[in-house]
Amino acid sequence: MMKTLLIGLLSLTALGACQNQTRTAGATSATSDSVISITHPDSSTFTVPADKLIVAGKQIGNISLGLPADSLQPMLGRPDRSDAAMGKAWLSWYGNRRDEHNNRISLDIYTSYADSTMEKRTVQQVRTTSTEYATARGIKVYNDLATIQQQYPHMEYAGRYKELNNGRVFSLYDDRASGIAFEIVEANDQRICIGILVHYPGKKVMEISPLLTDKK
């Protein structure tokens, strides 16, 4: 009888712990090996595939900062565009179709030497223009600036740039401490994100894609 009672008490304790974890504001969990889920304070839940997750200061999808540069082509195939010089390179992979706003979808990766020994090149910065990628709290391309600022209140204006292909001007906002930056354009009296960059925490966005280097 005592053994049965003890088992019952342990079961109730475990159930209570699970329920408490579910109610915890902002709690994140992996619902499977391929999906990340977060419960917001208002009890709403946002999920994003693990291979599409943006983590400030760490990664965009499967591309992590510090990844060896020579591992990119086996993972992603040959880049559609590359711009390399002095051990530094911007590599770009384009989607087969344009997004819902007729903008080209791209994944851009900046690589450089990992340290002063200049022995190996690694991923230093990653950029995406795809709405398929998102942070655990749902921040992604085409969010407005106000929404992004709620999640990253410490980000600061870092300059204005012009896109080389069509002359579109955008502003760069960087949360330097977290390691994430956002490209913002003005459209229809709104300020909208068109690209997200992840870089090492504590460092500025040192290099911008060669497609976006005409500083205003």
Query: Is 28 within a domain?
Result: no
Q: Which structure tokens are listed for 97? A: 């179709």
- Domain membership of residue 148 (yes or no) is yes
We report the CATH number of the domain holding residue 187 as 2.60.460
Instruction: Note the pLDDT of residue 24.
Output: 31
Q: What's the rounded Cα separation, in Å, for the pair 132 and 95?
A: 12
Is residue 33 a part of any domain in this protein?
no
Indicate the number of domains in the chain. Answer: 1
Residues of the chain with pLDDT below 70 are 1-46, 102, 165, 206-207, 209-216
Determine, yes or no, domain membership for 34: no
> Is 141 domain-assigned?
yes
Domain span at residue 199 reads 50-215
Share of the chain above pLDDT 70, in %: 73
H or E element that contains 160: strand 156-162
Q: What is the pLDDT of residue 168?
A: 79
Token pair 């390179």 is found at 89
Query: Is 16 a member of any domain?
Result: no
The verdict on residue 155 lying in a domain is yes
Radius of gyration for the chain, computed over Cα atoms and rounded to the nearest angstrom: 21
Tell me what pLDDT residue 10 has: 37
For residue range 140-183, what is the model confidence (pLDDT) as tens digits?
A: 999 999 999 999 999 999 988 887 767 778 899 999 999 999 99
Two structure tokens written together for 32? 């499977």
Predicted TM-score (pTM) of the model is: 0.78
Strand partners, 14: none
SS3 category, 3: helix
Residue 26 lies in a domain: no
